[in-house]
Amino acid sequence: MPDNFADKLAATIIARQSQVCVGLDPRLDRMPPSLVERYREAPRKGCGCGRHEIGACFEEFGVAIIDAVAPHAVAIKLQLACFEQYGPPGIKAFKHLCKRAAKAGLIVIADAKRGDIGISAAAYSAAFIGRPQGFDGEIDGFNADALTVNPLFGSDGMQPFIDDCQKYGAGIFVLVKTSNPGSAALQDLIVMAGPDSGGETAGASGAFGGNPSKYYEKVASLADKWGAGLIGESGYSSVGAVIGATHPETLATLRQALPHTPFLLPGYGAQGAGAADVAPAIDSSGLGALVTASRSIIYAGAGEDFAGRAAEAAERMRVELWQANRGNG
Amino acid sequence: MPDNFADKLAATIIARQSQVCVGLDPRLDRMPPSLVERYREAPRKGCGCGRHEIGACFEEFGVAIIDAVAPHAVAIKLQLACFEQYGPPGIKAFKHLCKRAAKAGLIVIADAKRGDIGISAAAYSAAFIGRPQGFDGEIDGFNADALTVNPLFGSDGMQPFIDDCQKYGAGIFVLVKTSNPGSAALQDLIVMAGPDSGGETAGASGAFGGNPSKYYEKVASLADKWGAGLIGESGYSSVGAVIGATHPETLATLRQALPHTPFLLPGYGAQGAGAADVAPAIDSSGLGALVTASRSIIYAGAGEDFAGRAAEAAERMRVELWQANRGNG
The pLDDT value recorded for residue B204 is 40
pLDDT for residue A270: 72
Question: Could you list the active site residues of B?
Answer: 113
Query: Looking at per-residue confidence, does B208 or A298 come out higher?
Result: A298
By Cβ distance, the residue of A53, A122, A178 closest to B153 is A178
Q: Does domain A5-324 have CATH number 3.40.50.970?
A: no
Task: Measure Cα distances from B192 to A23, A34, A325, B155, B300 in Å.
Answer: 35, 53, 37, 18, 45
pLDDT in the model for residue B203:
42
Q: Are strands A239-243 and A263-265 parallel, antiparallel or unpaired?
A: parallel
pLDDT class of B235 with cuts at 50, 70, 90: very high
Q: What is the pLDDT at residue B328?
A: 55
Q: Cα angle vertex A102, ends B94, B95, to 5°?
A: 5
Q: Which of A223, A175, A228, A176 is nearest to A202 (CA)?
A: A223
Q: Give the mean pLDDT of B20-43.
A: 97
* Predicted confidence (pLDDT) per residue in B144-189, tens digit: 999 999 999 999 999 999 999 999 999 999 999 999 999 999 999 9
Arithmetic mean of pLDDT over chain B:
92
Residue B206 banded pLDDT, cuts 50, 70, 90: low
Q: Which phi and psi (to 5°) does residue B177 adopt?
A: -145, 110
- Listed as ranges, residues in chain A with pLDDT below 70 are 1-2, 193-207, 209-212, 327-329
The ipTM is: 0.95
CB contact at 8 A, B38 and B278: no
Catalytic residue among A45, A92, A99, A113: A113
Q: What pTM value is reported for the model?
A: 0.95
B156, amino acid identity: D
Angle between helices B215-226 and B248-257 (to 10 degrees): 40
Q: Tell me the chain B residues in contact with residue A52 when contact means C-beta distances shorter than 8 Å.
A: none
Contact residues, chain A, for B243 at CB < 8 Å: none
Residue A161's nearest CA partner among A124, A216, A119 is A124
- pLDDT for the residue A198: 44
pLDDT digit string (tens) for B133-142? 999 999 999 9
List the CATH code of the domain at B5-181+235-324.
3.20.20.70
Which is more confidently placed, A82 or B2? A82
Give φ, ψ of B24 to 5 degrees.
-100, 95
Phi, psi for A172 (deg, rounded to 5): -130, 150
Interface test with A, best of B84, B214, B221 (most A CBs within 10 A): B84
Q: Which among B238, B203, B206 is positioned nearest to B6, based on CA atoms?
A: B238
How many other CB atoms are found less than 10 A from the CB of residue A210?
A: 11
Taking an 8 Å cut-off on Cβ atoms, the answer to whether B186 and A119 are in contact is no
Between these two residues, A18 and B268, which has the higher pLDDT value? A18
Q: Is the pLDDT of residue B327 over 70?
A: no
The whole-number pLDDT of residue B269 equals 80
| pLDDT of amino acid A247 | 85
| pLDDT score at B2 | 54
Name the residue facing B88 among A91, A175, A185 (closest C-beta): A91
pLDDT of residue A148: 98
Residue A246 confidence (pLDDT): 84
Per-residue model confidence (pLDDT) at position A273:
82
Q: State residue A192's pLDDT score.
A: 82
The answer for residues whose C-beta is within 8 angstroms of residue A46's C-beta and 6 or more apart is A52, A89
At B199, the pLDDT band (50, 70, 90 cuts) reads very low
DSSP structure class, residue A268: B
Backbone angles phi, psi at A225, to 5 degrees: -65, -45
| Rounded Cα–Cα distance for residues B267 and B262 (Å) | 16
Contact B287, B322 (CB under 8 A): no
More confident residue, B196 or B147: B147
Q: How confident is the model at residue B325 (pLDDT cuts 50, 70, 90)?
A: confident
Specify the pLDDT at position B200.
45
Rounded average pLDDT over B1-21: 92
SS3 state of residue B235: coil
Quote the pLDDT of residue A26.
98
CB-based contact A40 B135, cutoff 8 Å: yes
> Among partner residues B84, B120, B180, which is closest to A79 by beta-carbon distance?
B120
